[in-house]
């Protein structure tokens, strides 16, 4: 029973992490050393989204995956001198094999961009003109969009 519950919790974490990710994850490169990134967790269900969700929930701006299952978090991308060819980071992530989770001793590093401001649909402003209308009576009337309207207390047109 405990094993089944663990699988359910992991599945829920994977689903909620990918569905609620507020930040976009951008690939920074493959690096030979994580420098200031700290090991945070290891998971047999590791993926870029899983690690990013974990690091983001702890308010880190940079994350890395390595050796397929390890997740590291931090605030700074390693120096460009430590960057390696992308072919060094070629191990598929066990949680999502289309992602690559670093290499043996190499780190796929990503930075998380701030979320984009929410796009709120706007309405076009409609314009209406109110023009006086001749009705032949002394009672005040007006026209909105070429349709006669009565003022309160006016007899019907």
* pLDDT tens digits along 106-136: 999 999 987 766 665 555 555 556 666 565 5
Angle in degrees, CA 28, 33, 36, rounded to 5: 80
The answer to whether the CB of 66 falls within 8 A of the CB of 102 is: yes
On average, the pLDDT of the chain sits at 76
pLDDT at residue 113 in the model: 85
Does residue 74 carry a pLDDT above 60? yes
Indicate whether 145 pLDDT > 80.
no
pLDDT at 61 over 70: yes
pLDDT of amino acid 58: 92
Domain ranges of the chain: 24-113
pLDDT at 45: 93
Helix/strand/coil (H, E, C) string of 60-85? CCEEEEECCCEEEEECCCCCHHHEEC
Rounded to 5, what percent of the chain is helix, strand, coil? Answer: 20, 30, 50
Please choose, from the candidates 43, 69, 68, 38, the residue with its C-alpha nearest in 3D space to the C-alpha of residue 55.
38
Residues 6+ apart with CB under 8 A from 27: 108, 109, 110
Give the pLDDT of residue 114. Answer: 77
Q: Is 41 helix (H, G, I), strand (E, B) or coil?
A: strand
When mean pLDDT is compared over 23-37, 85-99, 120-134, the highest value belongs to: 85-99
| Cα–Cα distance for residue pair 92/68, rounded to 1 Å | 6
Q: List all residues 6 or more positions away from 79 whose beta carbon is below 8 Å from its beta carbon.
A: 35
pLDDT over 70 for what percent of the chain? 58
Q: Comparing C-alpha atoms, which of 60, 61, 65 is closest to residue 42? A: 65
Give domain 24-113's CATH number out of 1.10.3470, 3.30.230, 1.10.760, 3.50.4: 3.50.4
Quote the pLDDT of residue 132: 62
> Is residue 39 scored above 80 in pLDDT?
yes
Q: What's the pLDDT score for residue 15? A: 39
Q: Is the model's pLDDT at 144 over the cut of 90? A: no
């Amino acid at each position: 029973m405990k094993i089944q519950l663990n699988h359910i919790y992991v599945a829920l974490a994977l689903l909620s992490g990918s569905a609620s990710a507020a930040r976009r994850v951008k690939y920074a490169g493959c690096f030979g050393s994580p420098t200031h990134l700290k090991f945070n967790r290891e998971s047999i269900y590791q993926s870029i989204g899983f690690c990013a969700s974990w690091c983001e929930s702890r308010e880190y701006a940079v994350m890395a995956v390595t050796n397929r299952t390890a997740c590291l978090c931090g605030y700074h991308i390693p120096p460009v001198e430590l960057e390696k060819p992308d072919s060094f980071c070629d191990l598929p992530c066990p949680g999502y094999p289309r992602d690559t989770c670093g290499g043996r001793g190499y780190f796929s590093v990503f930075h998380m961009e701030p979320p984009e401001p929410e796009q709120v649909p706007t309405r076009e402003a409609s314009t209406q003109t109110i023009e006086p209308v001749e009705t032949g009576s002394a009672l005040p009337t007006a026209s909105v969009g070429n349709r006669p309207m009565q003022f309160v207390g006016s007899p019907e047109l």
